[in-house]
Amino acid sequence: MANIQIIVGSMLGGTEYVAEACEEKLLTLNHQVTLHLQPCFEQIPHKNQIWVICCSTHGAGELPDNIQPFVNDLRSCEQDLSSISFITIGIGDTSYDTFCKAAIDIKNLLITKGCKEIVPEFTVDMSQDLDPELVTTNWISENKDLL
């Protein structure tokens, strides 16, 4: 099975719960999974990996503080990242016009770095989804053949 790195961007902790639920689901699907709650670009494997970006949006479309250093390092990276495939899970609230902007910004950055998007980003609307962990793990189950 795949080596999966779950990279988390969270301000208030809700996205961490979603990421942990993803980790549990992926482990039951027999993947090797590492959860990065304080992601450090240099410590995350880059070769032949699947990255799951699980990120909320803060303020007026900003990245959560904990993932900002990772994104800065990714932005300035000159390494070949073409062997990375990724999935983006955005956590947000559709009552804001910046719904899931941080996750989408990271997705776009990964694409510019040569990474391959496995499926279009999955977004969770915290104003509608009463159980974001269940919604996300169900989505992973529906897409498990792509991993």
Q: Strand 50-56 vs strand 116-117: parallel, antiparallel, or unpaired?
A: unpaired
CATH number at residue 37: 3.40.50.360
Segments forming the whole domain that contains residue 82:
3-146
- pLDDT band for position 31 (cuts 50, 70, 90): very high
- pLDDT band for position 39 (cuts 50, 70, 90): very high
Q: Total domain count for the chain?
A: 1
Average pLDDT over residues 89-104: 94
The whole-number pLDDT of residue 89 equals 97
pLDDT tens per residue across span 70-95: 999 999 999 999 999 999 999 999 99
Residues whose CB is less than 8 angstroms from the CB of residue 86 and which lie 6 or more positions away in sequence, other chains included: 50, 51, 52, 53, 107, 110, 115, 116, 117, 118
The dihedrals phi and psi of 139, each to the nearest 5 degrees, come to -65, -40
